[in-house]
Structures are given as structure tokens and as C-alpha cells.
Amino acid sequence: MRVFQNYHRHSCYTNPKIPDSTAKNKDYAIRAKELGHGIISSVEHGWQGRYIEAFELAEEHNLRFVFGTEAYWVKNRFTQDRTNAHICILARNENGRQAINDILSEANLTGIYYQARLDLPLILSLDKNDVIVTSACVAFWQYSDIDKIVKQLHEHFQESFFLEVQYHNTDFQKEINTKILELSNKLGIQLIMGCDSHYIYESDSWERDDFIKSKGIEYPDEEGWYMD
């Protein structure tokens, strides 16, 4: 029997980049254990998260630690492109962890334009044996030639590249999921399910809502999203 693994989640450590969560890594680890999951990841928006803490929590709760990021990316980081599409990159091994650190560092050195941005050359510099790459959330699908980019990523990463479907009850998510299924069948790309959770329980949503409102931020396109 396959057990769902909530690799795509965000905690309060995502907030230096974008105010987006009040959840704690410790609470994710406890809940993962309760649900019979086997992992805890460090995935945050734009960086690797506080991965030492996630690693220690994994050891404490007998979980597997997954090092990763939901990075911002553009086609060419040397242009003034504010597309800031999303992509999830996870390490398979220590080589992968170091390589992800290297390209995120380079994004902060040469890819800054409102955000630190990876680009396709940096992403394609990664070895398919060292990382897993997914199309993350709906924010991946922003370029008009994204089908061509998906094909390029799949050809490079092969079985280490996944198209990510999510469960949000929005017309756009349903449209994207339909597109993903078509591409998966056409190109033979594996699917992965992502929660994109920003809090632990549905009843915790008010705390996040109050937090982002206190920062003067609203996310109107989240209506219909399941973020627990």
C-alpha cells in the first residue's frame, strides 16, 4: 500500500521571502507521524528552509528528512523578468543537497530581480541522479511555451521529473490538472500529488489569515484552496 507523503508544505520559515504561514516544523513532524507518513521536508518559497531543524526533527520522530526548495524561476535570470514561476527541487542525496545550495546561491548573486530567481540553465545544470524536480503549483504554468519547457525538463531529468497535480477546488486548478494529465499521457511523465499545505489543520486557517492581513497582504486567488 502506498502512503501519501506531504513533501510540498510551508512553515513559518517561508516568511522571510513571502509572509505565508504560521505553522511550525515541529507540528508538521508530529502530524506526519500521527498520519503514518514517513518524511518531513524543508521546502519553503525561494529557499531551502531551516533544514537543520527539519533534519533534527526527522531523527527525533523517526522520519526521513527531505531537503528541498520551492524556488522561483525564469527563462533567463539576467533579464528583468518578473514572471517568478515556481518549481520544486528535492535532493536525492548529499550531492543533490550541495548542488541545490549552489544554484540557489547563484540565484542570489546573479538572479536578483525582486526575488532571487533560478533560470533554466541553472536548473538544467543539476544531475538527474541527484535531485527530483516537480512542476510545483499552478504558478509553474506561466509561460506561453511552457509545454516546450516541460519537454526540455523531462528530457534532461527523465524519471526524476514529475508533473504535480493538486486538489484545490478552483477552476484554474482543474484546468491545470487536465493539462497535466494530457501532457503526462503524451510525453510519458510521471505524476505526483502535492498538498501545498500552509497550516496543519483546517481549523488553523484563521491564524494564517490574520497573520497575512497584519502584513497588509491578501491572496484573493486562494478561494477554494485546501491548504491544511
- pTM across the whole model: 0.96
Do residues 19 and 198 touch, judged by C-beta distance below 8 A? no
> Does residue 194 lie in a domain region?
yes
Q: Specify the CATH number for the domain of residue 97.
A: 3.20.20.140
pLDDT reported for residue 1? 66
Instruction: Say how far apart CA 210 and CA 207 lie, in whole Å.
Output: 5
Instruction: Say how far apart CA 119 and CA 135 lie, in whole Å.
Output: 14
Count up the domains in the chain and report the number.
Answer: 1
C-alpha cell at position 191: 505524476
3-state secondary structure (DSSP) of residue 146:
helix
pLDDT in tens, 120-175: 999 999 999 999 999 999 999 999 999 999 999 999 999 999 999 999 999 999 99
> Does residue 2 lie in a domain region?
no
C-alpha cell at position 81: 523578468
Sheet holding 190-193, edge to edge: 118-119, 68-74, 85-91, 131-134, 161-165, 190-193
Nearest to 63 by CA among 28, 94, 88: 28
Domain of 192 in residue numbering reads as 12-222
